[in-house]
Amino acid sequence: MKAGLLERLVCVACGGELAPTSNRELVCRACGRQTPVHIGEESREIPIFTPPPPGLQPSPRLARGPELGTPWRRANWRFLEAEANHLPAEAALLDVGAGRGDFADLFSGRNYYALDVYPYPEVDLVCDLSHTNPLRAASFDAVLLMNVLEHVYDGRSLLRSLAHILKPGGVLIVAIPFMVKMHQVPVDFARYTHYALQRMGEDSGLALDKLEGFYDPVSLLGEGIGNLKNAVLPTLHGWRRYAGKALALGLAALSAGLRGVLGPGKLRPPAEARSLAPTGYHLVYRKIPPAD
Does the pLDDT of residue 157 top 90, yes or no?
A: yes
Q: In whole angstroms, give the CA distance from residue 273 to residue 34.
A: 51
pLDDT at position 196 is 97
Span 202-206, average pLDDT: 97
Any idea which fold 49-215+273-287 has? Rossmann fold (3.40.50)
Does the pLDDT of residue 6 top 80, yes or no?
A: yes
pTM listed for this prediction? 0.94
Q: In whole angstroms, give the CA distance from residue 254 to residue 251.
A: 5
pLDDT at position 261 is 95
pLDDT at position 210 is 97
Span 248-266, average pLDDT: 95
Q: Side-chain half-sphere of 147: how many Cα atoms within 13 Å?
A: 23
Does the pLDDT of residue 292 top 90, yes or no?
A: no
Closest CA to 203 of 173, 168, 163, 176: 163
Per residue in 66-101, is it b (16+ CB within 10 Å) or e — as a string? eeebebbbbbbbebbeebbeebeeebbbbbbbbbbb
pLDDT interval class at 12 (50, 70, 90): very high
Span 264-285, average pLDDT: 95
Q: Side-chain half-sphere of 12: how many Cα atoms within 13 Å?
A: 17
Domain with CATH 3.40.50.150 in the chain: 49-215+273-287
Cα 36 to chain centroid, rounded: 25
Does the pLDDT of residue 54 top 90, yes or no?
A: no
pLDDT interval class at 156 (50, 70, 90): very high
Strand partners, 47: 37
Q: What is the pLDDT of residues 71-104, one digit of tens each?
A: 999 999 999 999 999 999 999 999 999 999 999 9
Does the pLDDT of residue 291 top 80, yes or no?
A: no
pLDDT interval class at 255 (50, 70, 90): very high
pLDDT interval class at 22 (50, 70, 90): confident
Span 248-272, average pLDDT: 95
pLDDT at position 114 is 98
What is the three-class DSSP state of 75?
A: helix
Does the pLDDT of residue 145 top 90, yes or no?
A: yes
Span 103-131, average pLDDT: 96
Q: In whole angstroms, give the CA distance from residue 106 to residue 66.
A: 11
What residues contact 250, with CB distance under 8 A and at least 6 apart?
A: none
